[in-house]
A and B are shown apart, each in its own frame.
Chain A
Amino acid sequence: MSTLLQNVFGNAKGFARLNGESKVAPFVVLLLVVTVLASACNLLLPQDSIFYVSTYTITLLGKYLCYAMLALAVDVIWGFCGILSLGHGAFFALGGYAMGMYLMRQIGDRGVYGNPELPDFMVFLSWNELPWFWQGMDQFWLAMLMVLLVPGLLAYVFGWLAFRSRVTGVYLSIMTQALTYALLLSFFRNEMGFGGNNGLTDFKDILGFDLQSDNTRVTLFIITALMLSGLLVLSKKIMQTRFGKVVVAIRDGESRARFIGYRTENYKVWLFVYSAMIAGIAGALYVPQVGIINPGEFSPINSIEIVIWVAVGGRGTLVGAVIGAILVNYAKTKFTAIMPDGWLFALGAMFVLVTLYLPKGLMGLWSQFKGEQAVAPTPVNPPNETSASHNPEEGRA
């Protein structure tokens, strides 16, 4: 158990170094090629061709890519800064709700109750006017701004409070878990004005395009792929700057980073905000493709799943997180079709096995396979263990 915890929260051992191992460019090319091929096979080929890709598959792929983006968000914060967030589902869901609000307003008078102003659930609750936070959400630009701002702001406030008080490790993870659970409970309430446990659904169109049409679905899929590629490249660029180096330095030796003059809490807060915004974008792209957003997205188990995707793919590799998310979700689709009740056990087993035997995930396995034995740092060597720890002051300080 202690090895497990050490690998999850631990130091440099389980993390891969970015520059040597992360091949973002080839992966992005591969991703875009697959996207273009799949889209072309859906739109251009007749339905009876053996190469025809069904719209269902396109939507499924789009969903996977949204999850991949979410995994990227967690990797940025966990893999590079060592902050294990078990609440990233919250940022994802908030981004999703912002998009959902826009889509609800787009329904207009085509809802069941035919009210041109109010979404159906509000009519059902016999509300007479839109709550203030629904005002203006029929504007696409405002909704998109909220997709970024709401998760970003929450991450900023949470991060500012947590990192300034120097909360780290397990405690921080538990707090993030509590955060998403609190949001889950409040979004379940009808009085919150977000549709209670039914959430937001029954969307008709986005920017005037029919959400059910093949063209819109393929477009959404392509936008998701482009967004994911863009964010992958941007994240890699950020990690290559001195800012990125400081972030990794904070992961490996936060007090050392402080003693050479970096205000580590500021770095953590801004990285957390960046990560939350990626999660928000992922949520916003997820909702129109899946067609529903409800408080279930806030459930803590979702956030834990994200962490598993990243662990499977390989922490601190960016590409690994994306691959992990896609593979695990593909496995989930297949597995739940055969044995729906067994999935959580399989997921748990996967997490334990990966942390114990594959601390660097699939990316670590890949680089081992390619023979370029990872340039991983050796564990902190203890030749002077005795001389370093015989001073009782160290333990206290």
Chain B
Amino acid sequence: MSLLDTTREVMRRDQVWPFLQDDTATVDISHQVLLYVEGLNLSFDGFKALNDLNLYINDGELRCLIGANGAGKTTLMDVITGKTQCDSGTVYFGQSLNLLEKDEAEIAQLGIGRKFQKPTVFEAHTVMDNLELSLKSNKSVIPTLLATLTGEEYDQMDQVLETIGLKGERMMLAGSLSHGQKQWLEIGMLLMANPRLLLVDEPVAGMTVQEGERTAELLTSLAGERTVVVVEHDMEFVRSIARTVTVLHQGSVLAEGSMDEIQNNPDVIEVYLGEAP
């Protein structure tokens, strides 16, 4: 980039310089938008995983992200949660919080919870311990060393156990749970932290139909109070929960709208749904 370009970029009139921004810990959603992703670019060894991606998630929304393999869904989540650095672009949480400047732990403490594709729970801990670790609390070393569970926190744990249907398994080691139960435990861990935004990566992978239905119920019941973004391949599942669907293709947004609109969109049919039998 030449000096002139750099100067232009710095002097752009539609932006506020980072040092002037009010980086407070509260999420400002005065414009009803919780997450702003703008102009995101990221390439791995020449392969453009994200290509000028723009995405806006409203507060309280349940949004589904679909797209073929390599469309950039998981990479997008990696960038939002601070796991991967992007090449250019901005990610804002609310009006004022710049997520690209923060690391994973900070982003998690701001109230962004993430569920991985493969269920990742702490296998050597009991279900209760898994939930306790995910509690919203001061997570620096000394307070954690001295932390004890309060009655309220117990109640909250009970409530979450009820929600995820693992009340009977509370003392079991997470490693001995079934696959579906691990998926729910992971969702439960996210709930313990009381997050604003939930990023859920393929929640029904490997689940039976009944388990999938229960998961769908769970996720729809969460929306409204919290904002949920779901990445999923299973179109039936997407149809059953989604109000708004965003289709990603080759690292950028291809289409956005309700499920019916998406299914009738000629571009989408060509690149994505067309491939399905």
Q: Which range holds the interface residue count of chain B?
A: 35 or more
Are A256 and B122 touching (Cβ within 8 A)?
yes
Residue of B nearest to A391 (CB): B69
Q: Which residues of B contact A372 (CB under 8 A)?
A: none
Size bracket, chain A contacts: 35 or more
B27-69 vs A, CB cutoff 8 Å, 1 = contact: the mask equals 0000000000000000010000100000000000000000001
- Which of chain A's residues 245-279 have a Cβ closer than 8 Å to chain B? 245-246, 248-249, 251-253, 255-264, 266-267, 270
B173-210 contacts to A (CB < 8 Å): 173-176, 179, 189, 193, 202, 205-206
Q: Contacts A258-B105, A392-B70 known; A380 to B123 CB distance under 8 Å?
A: yes
Residues in chain A near residue B106, CB distance under 8 A:
261
Instruction: Tell me, in angstroms, the Cα distance from A384 to B121 when the chains sit together.
Output: 16
Residues from chain B with a CB closer than 8 A to the CB of A370 are none
Say which residue of B70, B81, B174, B175 sits within 8 Å of A259 (CB atoms).
Answer: B81
Contacts of A238 in B (CB 8 A): 145
**Minimum C-beta distance from B251 to chain A (A):** 11
> How far does the alpha carbon of A243 sit from the alpha carbon of B133 in the complex, in Å?
9
Q: Which residue of A lies closest to B111 (CB)?
A: A261
Q: Is A241 an interface residue (CB 8 A)?
A: yes
Q: Is B140 an interface residue (CB 8 A)?
A: yes
Select A397's contact among B78, B133, B146, beta carbons within 8 Å.
B78
Q: Which of B17-25, B124-132, B269-277 contacts A (4 or more CB under 8 A)?
A: B124-132
Q: Mark B96-119, 1 if CB is under 8 A from A, else 0.
A: 000000011110110001101110
B36–chain A nearest beta-carbon distance, Å: 21
Chain A residues near B (Cβ < 8 Å): 11-12, 15, 17, 238, 241-243, 245-246, 248-249, 251-253, 255-264, 266-267, 270, 375-378, 380-381, 383-384, 387-388, 390-394, 396-397
Instruction: List 20 additional contacts besides A249-B125, A249-B133; criterion CB under 8 Å.
Output: A238-B145, A242-B133, A242-B147, A245-B125, A253-B123, A255-B83, A257-B133, A259-B114, A260-B113, A261-B108, A263-B105, A266-B140, A384-B118, A387-B202, A388-B118, A391-B117, A393-B72, A393-B74, A394-B117, A396-B44
